[in-house]
Amino acid sequence: MVVMEDEESAVDDFTAELLWALGYETEQTVICTRKNILFSICGEEVYAKTDVCVVDVNSELLLLAQEDKSHIKLADPEPQLVAEATAAFQANNSNRVNNLFIDPLPKQVFPGITMVGTFPRFYKIEVTADSMESGSDQLRENDQL
């Protein structure tokens, strides 16, 4: 069977429906698909695109899900999920400071899910302000080699 690239959304739709059935969408939260999250890395503004995420009424990203697309091309979903968590941390803190007028968080733990077909793998991804800075420094050092 040949899998077309556009067929990847079936897993995303399944994931969104599963989260809805499990009660993740409430009066205070919404389940989003294909959300672009702007973030800064090594002085550049880039986007991380979620497959599925849960967002609260204050626009805070709470949960991230990424499909394993290795049936389309060889790619590990974990680095994408970590990039999304990094972007979500930056976006959440930016929203806290600029829109909610509250202090940024020093760290945040994101529940994450990678989906291999209908099989989920669960993660807890901790992102800290310190790891954001050291990660950027590390990337800069590696770019110079």
For tokens 């968080």, the residue is 105
Classify 25 as helix, strand or coil.
Answer: coil
Helix (H) / strand (E) containing 55: strand 52-56
Pick the residue with more confidence: 111 or 43? Answer: 111
Fold of 5-144: tt1808, chain A (3.90.1570)
Q: What is the structure's pLDDT at 140?
A: 36
Pick the residue with more confidence: 43 or 30? Answer: 30
Give the amino acid at 5.
E
- Structural domain boundaries of the chain? 5-144
Residue 1, pLDDT > 60, answer no
pLDDT digits (tens, 9 = 90+) for 12-22: 999 999 999 99
**Opening angle at CA 132, ends 126 and 133, nearest 5:** 145
Helix (H) / strand (E) containing 89: helix 77-98
pLDDT digits (tens, 9 = 90+) for 114-138: 998 889 999 999 999 988 766 544 3
Mean pLDDT over residues 55-63, rounded? Answer: 96
Residue 139, pLDDT > 80, answer no
The model's confidence at residue 68, banded by pLDDT at 50, 70 and 90, is confident
How many percent of the chain have pLDDT more than 90? 67
Helix, strand, coil % in the chain, rounded to nearest 5: 40, 35, 30
Which has the minimum average pLDDT: 72-76, 106-110, 121-125? 72-76
For tokens 């672009």, the residue is 36
Classify 18 as helix, strand or coil.
Answer: helix
